[in-house]
Each structure stands twice: as C-alpha cells, then as structure tokens.
Amino acid sequence: MSAKILDGKWVRDQILAELQPRIERLKTDHRPPGLAVVLVGNDPASEIYVRNKIKTCGQLGIYSEKVAPPDTISTEDLLGIIEGLNQRPEIDGILVQVPLPSQVDKHRVLVGIHPDKDVDGFHPMNIGHLVANSLAARACTPAGIMEMLRRYQIPIAGQKAVVVGRSDIVGKPMALLLLHQHATVTICHSKTANLPEECRRADILVAAMGRAAFITRDFIRPGATVIDVGMNRNPDGKVIGDVDPEAVRELAGAYTPVPGGVGPLTIAMLMSNTVQLAERHLCSA
C-alpha cells in the first residue's frame, strides 16, 4: 500500500478559509487585526518570507506593516522600535524576522515584545503558557503540524512520537504539543546514542534538524507517520528536506513532502495567531 501524502496546501487553505469570517467579524465589531513585521537588513531568504507574510495578510484583510531598519541597527534602537509597536493599539501581533545581525542581542529583542503581542509564541512567558498548556500563541510551525495531524485524523494519544532536533522554534514546542495530546515523546539530538534505533520506535517521527536527507530508511519504522520540517538546498538549487524522499515514500504510512508539506502551514498559523490575539484584545478593550 502506498504512503499517504500529507498536503500542507490543503490544510493551509482550510485554516485560512476558517479565519475569514472571524476577520470579517473583527472588522465589523472593532477594526481589522493588525500585524507588524520587523525585518532588519537585506537577507534574501528573509525578504521572501516577509513578502509572503505581508501578501497573505492582504489577501485575508489583515492590516500589516513592514518595519525595515538597517542591518547596522543597535539592540537599543531596535528595542525602541519594538516598544513603539507595543504601545500602538491597532497592532495585535509583532514578529521580528530572524536571523538578526550579529551585533543585535536576539534574546533581549524577543523579550522586548509584549507577551500579548508575541505572535510567534517565543516570549518566555508564552513558553511558560505552552508548558502549562494554557491559552497563548503557539510557535507557528509546530502548531501547524498539530493542525495537519488533526485534520488528517492521525491518532496521537498513546502513540510513540520522536522529535529529532531541540530548537526553541520547532523541536521543543513540538515535543510539548505532542505531549499535551497524550503521545509518549522522545526528543533526540546530535548527542543521542543509537539515533536510528530511537527513531525506528516512532509511530510519529518529526525531523527538524536542518540536515539534508539525514533521515534514511534505517530511521523509519514501516507504517510510521513522518513529518519533515527541513528545508535545505542541494548544490543544484533543488529544495530537499531532512528525510530521504525515496526512503519515506517506500516505508512511511503517511508523510509530508518537501516542498508543499510543512512549509505552507507556518504562515497559516501566523495568520491564525494574529486573529486570535486581535480577538483577545477586543475582549479586553
């Protein structure tokens, strides 16, 4: 039996369609949701990401604003910009695009965003809410993966889940979200002994370490659901995930392709988080 392809565009389109009436209601009752994106410097990949985020806001009727300080900016000046956005009532969410230039203190910048406007869910207070499983914005990529598993009706409770990668953006929040849905979760990383063996135990395997085609057939239990978060470019320019595409097609029960799997979900959940923050701000107004 061939593996089921988990189509991120199908899930994204569902999420965005469901946001539409909520956005219209906010416009009628109050004002459109507002998102500010801070892009420091001219990193080409970051510019593409930001352009796509702004474009999606426009399609949905979300007010968006791009703030583009020079790459020579100091941490203090960037914190000043963020504090200005914190004070503006029409801005519901603030996103600082990473990577930041080396002279900028990334931690201070992320902490500088008010927790109520932290649309990425990276503020320590919101990470605390994630640990406690209380209401707050969740990191967009892991939240999108959870939406995909739910909409494809892939069971999580009682399943063994293995997350390869321990980043603050994907690996750690992914493990916590799976744990909250009653999976038995293992986090693996570069120091894990017998990594293929650990991965082969997984009913749900999430690869998020940024190494092209690192997960080979030795890592995949036949019939497992494999979620590939990786976006790596080969020397020929072709995009490839963290999982060997041939191995996953042959062995998995269900898998996300690269591109077209996890990628489309990240912006969809960014929009969802922005709308959720706007609704909360309206309720507390």
**Which residues are annotated as catalytic?**
53, 97, 120
Of 196, 177, 198, 194, residue with least CA distance to 186:
198
- Contact (Cβ atoms closer than 8 angstroms) between residue 214 and residue 236: no
Q: Are 38 and 69 in contact (CB under 8 A)?
A: yes
Give yes or no for a contact between 94 and 121, defined as CB atoms under 8 angstroms apart: no
Token pair belonging to 192: 């894990």
Tokens of 3: 């593996």
Do residues 261 and 13 lie in contact, with contact meaning Cβ atoms separated by under 8 Å?
no
Question: Sign of dihedral through CA atoms 18, 88, 130, 40?
Answer: positive
